[in-house]
Amino acid sequence: MRRLYPLCALAMLSACSPNASEPDGNSTLAELKPVQFNEARFRNDIKALSSDEFEGRAPTTHGEKLTLDYLTKAFTEMGLKGAYQGSFLQPVPMVSYTADEAQQVTLAGLPFKYRKDLVLSSRHDNGGINIENAPLVFVGYGVNAPEYGWNDYQDLDMKGKIAVILVNDPGFARPDSGKFNGKAMTYYGRWSYKFEEASRQGALGALIIHDTEPASYPWSVVENSWTGPQQDLVLSKAEQDSRIQVEGWLTLDAATQLFDKSGLSLPSLMARAADSPINVPLEQTASIAFKNKAEYANSYNVVATLPGSTQADKQILYTAHWDHIGKDETKAGDQIYNGAMDNASGTAGILEIARQLADNAKQGHGLARSVTFIATTGEEQGLLGSRYYAANPLYPIDKTVAVLNLDSTNIYGKTKNFTIVGKGKSELETYLIDAAKQQNRIAMGEKNPASGGFFRSDHFSFAKLGVPAVFAGGGSDPVDEATAAYKTQMQATMKGCYHNVCDEYHEDWDLSGALQDLQIYYQVTRTLGNSKDWPGYYQGTEFNSLRPAKTTLMTDAK
């Protein structure tokens, strides 16, 4: 088990900085009454944002307009300040690409059906794709990682070719080999990286082979998320021109047929790909044709600031994505992806924390540092809103102290433990660990690090720039037997609802666990907001060189 050993005691986090033990704001925590979050208000925000009226909150739709109005009204009533030239709305230039569902696709001469066997799209304003007889090349996990001595593209010229790629990274298949990060996914395992690397290699296209266990989600998630309009940021011409022309996913069954037709064993090649870098021409070609439409429109991040006092130029950021995946009018029955848990719940969470901090400030208990709440757009399409803010910050990144991210808050009741996704990366985590201790909860890493959760939500856009960022909440151990029984029942109700139309609000949700987590984030904000501490990333993590920690990460001998 990996644990954190700071240079000073965890029990007194504020002592980790020479100046942190002397609050620099308008009050100390001792002068404040214990925070009481308003569950009815929190619940109502979730219910409203995930209602059918909001149509699944897809960017650049009527559902976005309703969402922006709702959030703007809420932040205005709190008395927060609009961070974008006095407005709460930061424009995010976006383009929506819609691939025609009437796709003609043959791989190795085999016809494959859209949705059933594969999903394809193109993030180019080109009217459509017409590829004939492009060579197919299996490139293992599609990884080029010099620090791991790994390059699946070694000695390959990918010009005019389509890469066929495994999901996740070699560590997942060989967790005891010492390769990559074992079962814990690295960024090299994310689909976004694989398409980016295929582009850097000059490939014409890339197809990822879906496999439920290493992907951590079933094919239905791919089908629901990758069909219909696909949003992206508007890129420069040079960036756009460098991208692969077509990208998509193959089912495992379809990929097996493809490799069989090539006279190759997919299971054997998967085993080889886990042991060492690999690339193998399939000696087969792909022909792909479909129409493609591009539409341009601004979407918006909602950015609201509670100014600090003596360190007002230093920012603590909250992120929660307001968007979900909208509606699918081709579906029979329910067509709306309400996104109640993902992520009306997280958006409601930052609203409730903002209200509490704003009330504190009105009572003379403000913070030294400023706190800014960013309800981001386009997270479901690849962290678009947070990526745009990180590249076009309204407050300098080098004066951003930390990022606290809420995504899919706990609907399963109180827990004895507290989950920090990707635990062990930064000193910021020590603040959460201490706050959890005060609830008699034990902070732990996620149960399934292979899912790559640290790379899948908005905080990651800031981590890549060296800003300590955490994604945390919930836990695996219910607080008592009654809660455990409720959790089992509710998990059965919510099974299969991730990125599906059944992610809807339920009146019988037990939100007491979510309120526990809001309390932790709130306390972290109070403590860090009244200190002069400047947390960083631990040695050995991906981001240490960008903002090094003062403390060290060690391995527990137990």
Domain boundary at 232, 261, 293, which? Answer: 293
Domain span at residue 207 reads: 97-293
DSSP string, 232-259: EE---HHHHHTS-SEEEEE-HHHHHHHH
Q: Does 360 lie in the same domain as 496?
A: yes
Q: Does 323 lie in the same domain as 207?
A: no
The 10s digit of each residue's pLDDT in 142-185 is 999 998 999 999 999 999 999 999 999 999 999 999 889 888 88
Q: Does 427 lie in the same domain as 395?
A: yes
pLDDT at 429: 98
Q: Does 70 lie in the same domain as 111?
A: no
CATH number at residue 139: 3.50.30.30
- 98, 230 contact by CB (below 8 A): yes
Q: Is the pLDDT of residue 423 over 50?
A: yes
Going by pLDDT thresholds of 50, 70 and 90, the confidence category of residue 32 is low
pLDDT at 184: 87
Angle at 530 between CA 527 and CA 533, to 5 degrees: 80
Q: Does 350 lie in the same domain as 221?
A: no
Q: Does 364 lie in the same domain as 233?
A: no
User: Is residue 298 reached through a cis peptide bond, with omega within 30 degrees of 0 on the bond before it?
Assistant: no
CATH number at residue 485: 3.40.630.10
Give domain status of residue 30, yes or no.
no
Q: Does 341 lie in the same domain as 271?
A: no
Q: How far is CA 416 from the centre of its chain?
A: 25
Q: Is the pLDDT of residue 25 over 80?
A: no
Please tell me the total count of domains within the chain: 2
pTM here?
0.84
- 404, 492 contact by CB (below 8 A): no
Going by pLDDT thresholds of 50, 70 and 90, the confidence category of residue 202 is very high
In this structure, of 226-235, 315-324, 331-340, the range with the lowest mean pLDDT score is: 226-235
Give domain status of residue 472, yes or no.
yes
Q: Is the pLDDT of residue 555 over 70?
A: no
Average pLDDT over residues 31-45: 86
Give domain status of residue 240, yes or no.
yes
Q: Is the pLDDT of residue 443 over 50?
A: yes
pLDDT at 453: 87
Q: Which of 511, 111, 524 is nearest to 318 (CA)?
A: 524
pLDDT at 553: 57
Give domain status of residue 558, yes or no.
no
pLDDT at 4: 32
pLDDT at 558: 28
Q: Which of 280, 556, 295, 551 is nearest to 445 (CA)?
A: 556
Instruction: Report CA dihedral (149, 152, 153, 154) to the nearest 10 degrees.
Output: 50
pLDDT at 450: 82
Q: Does 250 lie in the same domain as 106?
A: yes
Give domain status of residue 377, yes or no.
yes
Going by pLDDT thresholds of 50, 70 and 90, the confidence category of residue 449 is confident
Average pLDDT over residues 490-499: 96
- State how far the Cα of 353 lies from the Cα of 351, in Å rounded to an integer: 6
- 92, 378 contact by CB (below 8 A): yes
Q: Is the pLDDT of residue 5 over 90?
A: no
Q: Does 84 lie in the same domain as 55?
A: yes
**In Å, how far are 95, 143, 159, 161, 289 from 132, measured between CA atoms?**
27, 26, 14, 11, 8
Q: Is the pLDDT of residue 348 over 70?
A: yes
Average pLDDT over residues 255-282: 98
* Run of H or E including 285: strand 280-306
Average pLDDT over residues 14-41: 56
Domain boundary at 269, 293, 317, which? Answer: 293
Main-chain dihedrals φ then ψ at residue 153, nearest 5 degrees: -100, 15
pLDDT at 247: 97
Average pLDDT over residues 195-204: 97
Q: Is the pLDDT of residue 41 over 80?
A: yes
- State how far the Cα of 395 lies from the Cα of 431, in Å rounded to an integer: 23
Q: Is the pLDDT of residue 70 over 60?
A: yes
Q: Does 282 lie in the same domain as 201?
A: yes
Proportion of the chain above pLDDT 70, given as a percent: 93
- State how far the Cα of 340 lies from the Cα of 132, in Å rounded to an integer: 43
Give domain status of residue 2, yes or no.
no
pLDDT at 11: 32
pLDDT at 452: 85
In this structure, of 52-56, 278-282, 554-558, the range with the lowest mean pLDDT score is: 554-558
pLDDT at 178: 86
Q: Does 322 lie in the same domain as 285?
A: no
pLDDT at 114: 96
pLDDT at 14: 34
pLDDT at 255: 98
The 10s digit of each residue's pLDDT in 295-331 is 999 999 999 999 999 999 999 999 999 999 999 998 9
Reduced to 3 states (helix: H, G, I; strand: E, B; else coil), residue 490 is helix
Average pLDDT, the chain: 92
pLDDT at 162: 98
* Run of H or E including 517: helix 512-529
Q: Which of 96, 78, 72 is nearest to 326 (CA)?
A: 96
Q: Does 62 lie in the same domain as 113?
A: no
pLDDT at 20: 39
Q: Is the pLDDT of residue 458 over 50?
A: yes
Domain boundary at 293, 325, 345, which? Answer: 293
